[in-house]
Amino acid sequence: MTVKLEIENLQKSVLEYLERTLGAAVQMNSAEQSKKARLLPVYLDRSYRFFYGTIQGQTLTFAFATEPDVLTPGRLKKDAAAVANVLGYPVVFVLERLEAHHRTRLIQQKIAFLVPGKQLHIPFLVISLTDPEEKFRLPKLEKLRPASQVLLLYHLGKERLDSDNYQTIAQKIGYSAMTVRRAAEELEAYQLARKEGKGEKFIRFAASGRELWDKALTYLASPVKISYAINQLPKDVMLKKAGITALSNYTELALPAQSSYALYEVQRKAFEKKLQPFEIEYFGGGNIEIEIWNYDPGILSQGDSVDPLSLYLSISSYNQDERTLLAKEELINKYTW
């Protein structure tokens, strides 16, 4: 059986499994004819077949492994980052089979994967389903969804929300009242807040200030989905300073050579239409770094830089020099709660 036919059969199994488990049909389109796919390194192109699909309004890249026996959790983690940087969407690995110890490591490292008929684990969409016949425990800890994180950070960093009803909160943070209700339920599930009120609904947080931040930190995630470099910002575009550029605004850290800005993912398509052809560089280079955020940085910001709390979450502790890490800790320790 050829690899192409194997992938086609596996794809059918995946679509049937997703429809059965999620209760809605999911369509997949090959990503391999797109311009971005041509930028993929040869080793990725040989190891996977890529398809775009949408779940809960989020476009994903489904990576069907052609050589599953040689893929370790460590390799999958690196490949997920590399593919997302090029194709622009979070990655879900599709595997026909998966050793139990490898599955545990993938879950611990929050790598999205799907084994048709067995398990679907997409932590950034808060989806984790396992065949009931399999004796396997999923970790309880996951990250808050973007709207829930925005609500919490708005309360911590911009304005208290525990005296406002859902409709008022929705108007302040730019989400629908329905989304606010779901965010409140999620915060309650994580024991960060509780819902109150019979008619009008309110949120009462489980702590305040730094205590609430420390309690929530386990569940908070970087708002940055992917990043890439360009050489020049379009003249009519105003973005919030982000990354090390913003950190230098809040601390004594020196300005970096490459400026960084945050862009809400909803505005990404319109922004990229204003760029010159082939302007985007996924593998370094460029004078300006563009971070694609999964929520609008303008909601929480009170100046020309992203808000300090989101900034803290956005700067990874990996591959950073000591001065940057010290500045990051200074940012949170000097924050006025």
Residue with tokens 């110890």: 101
Report the percentage of the chain scoring pLDDT > 90. Answer: 55
Number of H helices and E strands in the chain, helices first, is 13, 13
pLDDT at 310: 98
Per-residue model confidence as pLDDT tens digits over 14-57: 888 888 777 777 888 898 878 888 888 888 988 889 999 988 78
pLDDT digits (tens, 9 = 90+) for 209-246: 999 999 999 999 999 999 999 999 998 999 999 999 99
3-state SS assignment for residue 260:
strand
DSSP class of residue 39 equals G
Q: How far is CA 230 from the centre of its chain?
A: 21
- Of 232, 238, 231, 259, the closest CA to residue 247 belongs to 259
pLDDT of residue 3: 60
Model pLDDT, residue 318: 65
Report helix, strand or coil for 141.
Answer: coil
**Using CA atoms, how far apart are residues 243 and 29, in angstroms rounded to an integer?**
34
CA-nearest of 254, 257, 336, 264 to 306 is 264
Lay out the sheet containing 91-94: strands in order across: 28-30, 48-55, 58-65, 91-94, 113-115, 119-122, 127-130
**What is the per-residue pLDDT for 2?**
52
Count the Cβ atoms, other than its own, within 10 Å of residue 184: 23
Indicate the average pLDDT of the chain.
88
Task: Determine phi and psi for 64, rounding to 5 degrees.
Answer: -85, 115
Residue type, 128: S
Six-digit token string for 149: 């994180």
Low-confidence ranges of the chain (pLDDT < 50): 1, 132-140
